[in-house]
């Protein structure tokens, strides 16, 4: 039962081995914290599903968790903020240094960054656990949480900026030694991801420092909710691409190799990522279509840009499917569709990611519905949105990261994956569980069921909702079973599996390689400049209008 058999038969690394001891330890710490957060977060998700079906177990959890909403805050923060951010920082440190074949230039800074992020995490976690920050992961003012919640999250964001700095300096050291070579694709994509995120996260940092922290510590009594929400969504939309792009890195630069073939086009992949760099941020108002106090014309402009950022995902769709086709044909597949059956379906690393891609097709289509100005009125703040983001961050991203850990954890720990069979079941159960879960949430949303609501105990619940709510619980239970299989497999790998020699990071070669990419796609300044200009055009008038027309007059509230 060797992991390497189905995964690494395409090619072998020829370059001399290098030590990545520090990078591996850093990645291990980040990923361990991420997986622990996921384990707790998804357990709470399971409880929420049960609540929807009328099986409210929150009263039984009383001394630890006071309410559905405290549980939901924990679920959201642990799953979409902690699991993603820690996994991504660890994964991208690993990917960037391996693909550049360069050690981190600032190992000490990297350790300090990790400590800062852990301190931030603990600072944010304590108030949530003591029910002093039941404000959900979007923490909209005028809701007012314990100051440590905000300060902690701010430290985590600062930590991610330090990761960007470290990776950028590492790339510059590589560039000094390789003045003409194209940046290897995986490193290039990692740097684009971190650069995009570092620009985008300025919004949330300003919201924290100027609005919510002063309010929470008592420096100011009032907040401006319109301004706060707009700063939040300045970051809150691009954060979804901060989660998605690392999954794309795996789909582009690793899956083709793991599936036995080559990436279709390296230049096209670079262009797709550069489009994300410039288009991810100037569109956050699509989360605020129903918000008062913002001129409709600005919302319409952001809706148009949202349709623009659809294109790099369409390019990804084309490129990734073409690469899978290349792999299937390389494995002997014939005819129009025969190649599909020659993909390594027995390998959970590949299968998990293909299933994640399939779920993402429907998440992406749902995203377009959300982004349509009028249709948003029908779905906003309904269970539909929860259906949408479980297909995206909960599947495209999470199922991909899970599949990635099936090679990465053995790689980092030097131990064989405990059970390939268990991993195979895990990815399929997630896929089926998510279909049941998200289909029913979408359907309920169209029946006007509100999101973020303890539905099982709501007095206004309609009889027709009761038909679908138990299905949400069933889907949630399947996801929970899948999650438990995942955690157990990783735990047994660390504490019960035989040692195995380290294996190289999978790196796909491309049919159309980096030499076909024009030089402009390996330059930073022009693209960063375009990103800055688009953000100014899309947001400057919005902020001017908000500052001129809305006041800081909402007193902080504890609504829980």
Quick one: which segment of 177-185, 305-313, 427-435, 469-477 binds ligand HAS (CB under 6 A)?
A: 305-313
Tell me the three state secondary structure of residue 1: coil
Interface of this chain with ligand HAS, residues 338 to 357, rule: CB under 6 A: 340, 354, 357
Site for ligand HAS contains 244 (CB under 6 A): yes
Which of 75, 98, 229, 237 is the catalytic position? 237
In the list 313, 400, 411, 440, the residue contacting ligand HAS (rule: CB under 6 A) is: 313
Is residue 342 annotated as part of the catalytic site, yes or no?
no
Reading the block at residue 481, the tokens are 């079973």
User: What would the two tokens of residue 113 be?
Assistant: 């960054």
Binding mask 214-253 for Cu ion (x = CB under 5 A): -----------------------x----------------
Q: Does 302 bind Cu ion (CB under 5 A)?
A: no
Residue number with CB closer to ligand HAS (382 or 413) = 382
CA distance 161 to 143: 27
Q: Name the pairing type of β-strands 554-555 and 222-223.
A: antiparallel
41 vs 410 by CB, closer to ligand HAS:
41
Q: Clarify whether 4 is annotated catalytic.
A: no
Distance from C-alpha of 530 to C-alpha of 284, rounded to nearest angstrom: 17
| Nearest alpha-carbon partner for 11 in 510, 502, 351 | 510
- Tally of helices (H runs) and strands (E runs) in the chain: 22, 4
Distance in angstroms (rounded) separating the CA atoms of residues 534 and 537 = 5
Subset of 114-133 contacting ligand HAS (CB under 6 A): none
**Judged by CB under 6 A, which stretch of 67-75, 204-212, 369-377, 439-447 contacts ligand HAS?**
369-377
Which residues are CB-neighbours of 523 under 8 A, at least 6 positions away? none
Under rule CB under 6 A, residue 376 binds ligand HAS: yes
Closest by alpha carbon to 383, among 292, 456, 286, 294? 456
Exactly one of 287, 342, 424, 451 is catalytic; name it: 451
- Residue 376 CB, nearest approach to ligand HAS (Å): 5
Closer residue to ligand HAS (CB): 367 or 483: 367
Let me know: does 183 contact 267? Beta carbons within 8 Å: no
Minimum gap (Å) between residue 290 Cβ and ligand HAS: 7
Neighbours of 223 (CB within 10 A): 26
Q: Please state, in angstroms and as integers, the Cα–Cα distance from residue 492 to each residue in 91, 133, 230, 413, following that order.
A: 21, 35, 45, 12
Question: Of 134, 223, 281, 370, which lies in the binding site for ligand HAS, with binding defined by CB under 6 A?
Answer: 370
Q: Strands, E, within 128-218: which ranges? A: none
Catalytic residue flag (residue 380) = no
286 near ligand HAS, judged by CB under 6 A: yes
Active site residue 317: no
Residue 317 beta carbon to ligand HAS: minimum distance, rounded to whole angstroms: 4
Q: Which residues contact 305 (CB under 8 A, 6 or more apart)?
A: 279, 282, 283, 534, 538
Q: Considering CB under 5 A, how many residues would be counted as binding Cu ion?
A: 1
SS3 state at 222: strand
237 part of the active site: yes
Among 40, 222, 345, 358, binds ligand HAS (CB under 6 A): 358
**Rounded-to-integer distance, Cα 343 and Cα 346, Å:** 9
If one asks whether residue 361 binds ligand HAS (CB under 6 A), the answer comes out as: yes
Q: Binding segment for ligand HAS among 113-121, 147-155, 260-268, 382-390 (CB under 6 A)?
A: 382-390
Selection from 511, 499, 393 nearest residue 41 by Cα: 393
Position 240 contacts ligand HAS (CB under 6 A): yes
Answer whether 199's CB lies under 8 Å from 535's CB: yes
Give the integer Cα–Cα distance in Å for 252 and 162. 26
132 three-state secondary structure: coil
Question: Which of 92, 124, 385, 535 touches ligand HAS (CB under 6 A)?
Answer: 385
User: Annotated catalytic sites, by residue?
Assistant: 237, 241, 388-390, 451-452
Q: Which residues bind ligand HAS (CB under 6 A)?
A: 138, 240, 243-244, 286-287, 306, 309-310, 313-314, 316-317, 320-321, 324, 340, 354, 357-358, 360-361, 364, 367-368, 370-371, 376, 380, 385, 388-389, 392-393, 397
Q: Which residues bind Cu ion (CB under 5 A)?
A: 237
């Amino acid at each position: 039962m060797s992991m390497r058999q189905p995964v690494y038969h395409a090619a072998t690394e020829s370059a001399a081995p290098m030590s990545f001891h520090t990078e591996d330890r850093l990645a291990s710490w980040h990923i361990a914290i991420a997986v622990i957060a996921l384990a707790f977060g998804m357990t709470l998700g399971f409880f929420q599903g049960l609540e929807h079906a009328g099986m409210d177990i929150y009263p039984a959890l009383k001394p630890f968790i006071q309410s559905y909403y405290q549980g939901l805050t924990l679920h959201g923060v642990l799953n979409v903020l902690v699991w993603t951010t820690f996994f991504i920082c660890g994964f991208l440190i690993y990917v960037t240094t391996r693909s550049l074949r360069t050690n981190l230039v600032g190992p000490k800074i990297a350790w300090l960054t990790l400590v800062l992020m852990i301190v931030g995490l603990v600072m944010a976690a304590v108030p949530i656990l003591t029910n002093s920050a039941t404000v959900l992961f979007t923490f909209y003012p005028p809701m007012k949480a314990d100051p440590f919640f905000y300060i902690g999250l701010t430290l985590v964001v600062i930590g991610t900026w330090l990761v960007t700095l470290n990776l950028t300096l590492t790339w510059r050291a590589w560039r000094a030694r390789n003045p003409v070579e194209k940046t290897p694709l995986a490193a290039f994509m990692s740097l684009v991801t971190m650069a995009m995120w570092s620009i985008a996260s300025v919004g949330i940092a300003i919201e924290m420092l100027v609005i919510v922290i002063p309010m929470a510590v008592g420096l100011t009594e009032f907040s401006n909710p319109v301004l706060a929400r707009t700063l939040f969504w300045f970051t809150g939309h691009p954060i979804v691409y901060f989660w998605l792009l690392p999954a794309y890195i795996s789909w582009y630069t690793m899956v083709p190799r793991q599936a036995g073939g080559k990436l279709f086009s390296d230049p096209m992949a670079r262009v797709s990522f550069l489009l994300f760099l410039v288009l991810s941020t100037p569109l956050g108002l699509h989360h605020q279509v129903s918000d008062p106090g913002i001129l409709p014309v600005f919302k319409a402009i952001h809706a148009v840009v949202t349709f623009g950022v659809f294109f790099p995902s369409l390019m990804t769709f084309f490129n990734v499917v073409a690469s899978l086709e290349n792999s299937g044909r390389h494995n002997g597949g014939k005819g129009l569709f025969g190649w599909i059956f020659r993909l390594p379906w027995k390998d959970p690393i590949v299968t998990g990611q293909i299933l994640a891609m399939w779920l993402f097709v429907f998440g992406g289509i749902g995203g377009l519905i959300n982004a349509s100005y009028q249709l948003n009125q029908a779905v906003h703040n309904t269970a539909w949105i929860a259906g949408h983001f479980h297909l995206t961050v909960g599947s495209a991203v999470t199922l991909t990261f899970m599949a990635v850990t099936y090679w990465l954890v053995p790689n980092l720990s030097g131990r064989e994956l405990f059970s390939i069979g268990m991993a195979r079941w895990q990815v399929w159960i997630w896929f089926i569980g998510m279909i049941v879960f998200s289909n029913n949430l979408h359907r309920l949303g169209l029946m006007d069921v509100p999101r973020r609501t303890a539905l099982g105990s709501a007095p206004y619940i309609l009889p027709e909702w009761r038909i679908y709510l138990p299905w949400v619980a069933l889907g949630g239970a399947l996801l929970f079973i899948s999650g438990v299989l995942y955690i157990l497999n990783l735990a047994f790998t660390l504490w019960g599996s035989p040692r195995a020699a380290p294996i190289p990071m999978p790196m796909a070669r491309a049919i159309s390689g980096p030499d076909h990419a024009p030089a402009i796609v390996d330059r930073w300044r022009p693209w960063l400049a375009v990103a800055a200009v688009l953000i100014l055009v899309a947001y400057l008038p919005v902020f001017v209008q908000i500052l001129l027309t809305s006041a800081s007059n909402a007193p902080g509230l504890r609504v829980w």
